[in-house]
Amino acid sequence: MSDKTKSETELLLNGVAFSFDDNCSRKPGTRTRWKRRLLIGILLIESCFALPKLAQGQFLSVFDSIFSSIQSDIGSSLSQINQIMQQTQKLYQTTVAPLAALNQARGFVANSINSFRGQMNQIFNTQFASAVTPGPQQFESILHSRLSAQIPALQASFTTNYGAIPQVNAASPQDRVMMDVDDALGQENLKTTLIADQGGDAILETANQMENQVAVSTPGSNPFLTAQAQVANLRCQAFMQKMLAAELRQEAGRIAHDNVLVKRRTAATGGINSLITGALTAR
């Protein structure tokens, strides 16, 4: 036996003589490899289809639980709240603020506006022009302009129509002072009338807006309309107080002017008495 044959037959495997043969040394065939690959591919495809189905089933079960909770627990509470809201709305519509009464009140306001607003505006905007000559006509037009921006033109027209104060040597100092006082009081009150007329127009515009709001008012808006009316009333009272103050100033100036005349007559009478007394004494 040669060395090569001996090495092939005398190899031991776990202490037992073992010899190679052709079947042990042969590699797996091509058919076996294709079967293994096909089996692995089938397993991968099944895994890909099985995992999404499992995940989808888990998510759907979570959403089903949430929807069930909303419908059973929260849904019943929302249904009760909706029922209470409907009952409250029905109470307001039938008892607190009946729709028929609201429509009746709105109709009354609308009829009042249609009946009286036009006539009142006609009265407030009626012109009372009476002057004939050009100077007084211009002065009267400025007085009826109802614009405080016309105050400088009013002052110039006043001087043109009522005349300027005489020069120093043309009248006594006391007469010049009284002329200046009377002109100042007259111009001040005329300027106040322009401001008051413009303020009156603003008050009337506010009143018209409030009437329009009342005609389309809704339940619950009465406190706001009342507060707005109180503010407008206070503004109107302020204008009235301003006019009363101007009238009081004018009256006080007239009284002071009359008192000055009395003083001058008294002084003149005293001077005459002194002359008479001197004349009688000289005889």
Encode pLDDT of 6-26 as tens digits: 444 444 444 445 454 544 444
Contact 249, 190 (CB under 8 A): no
Residue 16's SS3 state is strand
* Tens place of pLDDT per residue across the chain (283 aa): 444 444 444 444 444 454 545 444 444 556 666 767 766 766 666 555 544 544 444 545 666 666 666 666 667 777 888 888 888 888 877 877 777 887 888 888 888 888 888 888 888 878 778 889 999 999 999 998 989 899 999 999 999 999 999 988 888 888 899 999 999 999 999 999 999 889 888 888 888 888 888 888 777 777 888 888 888 888 888 888 888 998 899 899 999 999 988 988 888 888 888 878 777 776 5
Residue 18's SS3 state is strand
pLDDT tens digit sequence for 233-253: 888 888 888 889 988 998 999
By CB atoms closer than 10 A (0-12, 13-18, 19+), residue 196 is middle
Sign for the CA dihedral angle at 24, 26, 29, 33 comes to positive
Q: Of 153, 139, 255, 243, give the one whose Cα is nearest residue 198.
A: 243
